[in-house]
Amino acid sequence: MLKQVAEGVLVHESEFVQSNAVVVHGRTGALLIDPGITGDEMACLANDLSDAGQTVVAGFSTHPDWDHLLWHPRLGAAPRYGTARCAAAVREELSDPGAKARITAHLEPTGIAGQVPLDLYGLITALPAETARLPWDGPHVRIIEHRAHAPGHAALFIEERGVLVAGDMLSDVLVPMLDLDGTADPIEEYLAALRLLEAVAGDVEVLVPGHGSVGGADQVHARIERDRAYVLALRAGQVPSDPRVGPSAKPGWEWVSDVHDGQAQRLAQRHDRA
């Protein structure tokens, strides 16, 4: 079910790791950002849009992780945009004929592998490098590209509505997940991305993370500071005091501590090799 979070901006939260799909109403149709996980929920989303008299005229994937690259035939054949770096990463992934099979294998323990449609996976239209605004007939959408978490990651700021769609950052349930394979200095890349988000934070009324709860204006700076404190603690080789890790983690999200442990170990190994 779609929930309105601002004028003409609606969010659908998936049952799978609280993934958020975002719909933005435009003059001739809707923009759909990170559309969801299972075929059934995307078909339901298509029904909701149809009932509201909306068709999808543009899509956007915030970054090249599998759960942000899915699509369903019922959503139509609108262009699905991503940054140039995002699209390049997806092209490289799909050049391997075993890529989709690995996604299915990765999902087997979750019980949803057979529910995730991969036929239209990753069909991303690359925007020209350094594109600052999404090309569509609707509210101005600023593209804030950075290198944190994944190559070509972008947050979208729907300026006229005060909505920041943050991708896989600023979550209340997931700790910052660094791109430990793709950048020379993943800590600094993450801190630089937080500074970019901080630059627009004063104009944000609604924050939509890729996973987790939608936040209001009072949450924006708090989540930026929480993510920054976590990343700085990792850089210092400390155990972050973070409510998303350990016994205080939200029920069902205890596995985030394993993510943290893995990152801390890999960062320590990088430091030892340096």
pLDDT per residue as tens digits for the range 57-113:
999 999 999 999 999 999 999 999 999 999 999 999 999 999 999 999 999 999 999
- At 155, the amino acid letter reads A
Beta-bridge mates of residue 265: none
CA distance 140 to 72: 26
In 3D space, the residue among 53, 17, 23 whose CA is nearest the CA of residue 35 turns out to be 23
What is the distance, to the nearest Å, from the Cα of residue 9 to the centroid of all Cα atoms in its chain?
A: 16
pLDDT of 240 reads 83
CB atoms within 10 A of CB 105: 11
Query: Which own/partner contact pairs does 104-108 have at CB distance under 8 Å and 24+ positions apart?
Result: 106/66
Contact 34, 210 (CB under 8 A): yes
**Per-residue pLDDT band at 248 (split at 50, 70, 90):** confident
Pairing of the two strands 20-25 and 30-33 = antiparallel
- Computed over its alpha carbons, how large is the radius of gyration of the chain? 18
Please tell me the predicted confidence (pLDDT) of residue 239: 79
Q: How confident is the model at residue 274 (pLDDT cuts 50, 70, 90)?
A: low
- List CB contacts of 40: < 8 A, sequence separation 6 or more: 115
Give the start-end residues of each E strand in the chain. 3-6, 9-13, 20-25, 30-33, 56-60, 80-82, 125-126, 141-146, 153-158, 163-167, 206-209, 215-216
* 162 and 203 Cβ atoms separated by less than 8 Å: yes
pLDDT for the residue 180: 92
Q: What percent of the chain has pLDDT over 70?
A: 99
Residue 265 pLDDT greater than 80, yes or no: yes
Residues 203-246 have pLDDT tens digits of 999 999 999 999 999 999 999 999 999 999 999 988 788 999 98
Find the helix or strand (DSSP H, E) in which 235 lies. helix 217-235
Separation between Cα atoms, residue 193 and residue 196, nearest integer Å: 5
Residue with tokens 């391997």: 96
